[in-house]
Amino acid sequence: MIVAIVAARLSGLLGINIGYHRLLTHRGFKCPKWLEHTLVVIAICCAEDTPARWVAVHRRHHEKSDEQPDPHSPLAGFLWGHIGWLLVKNPDLSRLGIYDRYAKDILRDPFYVALERNFWQLKIVLIQINLFFLVGLAIALMQDQAWADALPFALSFVVWGVFVRTVFVWHQTWAVNSLTHMWGYRSYATDEDSRNNWFVGLLAHGEGWHNNHHADQRSARHGHRWWEIDTTYLTIRLLAKLGLAWDIVTPRPLKQ
């Protein structure tokens, strides 16, 4: 369980929040290409789609938020906003159509074009399964466990570190789509129903301050008040101190 919690916190924070969301989707800061690509590979390990499609769907959400074309507005029901929209084929989200409108900038990078082809998303997920297995096996053998005990330990490392962790990160992301458009407080009078939800704020490393985010989408900082803890933004600030992030977009003055 410890493996699942640690892996979920790190992969959700670094891959989905920083890599897919605040960097690729909203360009809230800049970083070296090698770091950008590393964050994206971590995000792919969470099995939430390729970077181009994830970005395209999220940008469409912002453009059409809580209107009929919004891919996952919970105004159609909590279950729809949380997971239902993923289970129904939506012609509006066909890859070619949505990429051309919402992800042209992403696909200018040959790295992201390659990730759309030759099942690279699946390959990366399979590679991480093998890595977790080997790490678990190495830990067991270093503890002088017999092979009969080391193999089950390695398999449990895969179950908790990959499968349980992936499901946890899925629900962490989906909670932003559903809960933060239904329950919470509004600091800004945006033209949709986004909310600041403290539970999702803590669960998803600051992504739950969703009304703040909709009010100032490019800002890399979602927690606007001192008590709105945003560990994703704090991590970006840490990267800046290490010389790995710059041009960080901060909240502009907004009328509350």
Residue-wise pLDDT for 116-160, tens only, equals: 988 899 999 999 999 999 999 999 888 878 777 889 899 999 999
Q: How far apart are CA 105 and CA 22, in angstroms?
A: 15
User: How much is the average pLDDT of 78-96?
Assistant: 86
Helix (H) or strand (E) holding 4: helix 2-10
Give the closest residue to 11 by CA, choosing from 173, 134, 154: 173
CA 221 – CA 249 distance, rounded (Å): 8
Q: What is the 3-state secondary structure (H, E, C) of 67-95?
A: CCCCCCCHHHCHHHHHHHHHHCCCHHHCH
pLDDT at residue 70, as a whole number: 92
This prediction's pTM: 0.94
Condensed to tens digits (0 to 9), the pLDDT of residues 191-219 reads 999 999 999 999 999 999 999 999 999 99
pLDDT tens digits, residue range 11-55? Answer: 999 999 999 999 999 999 999 999 999 999 999 999 999 999 999
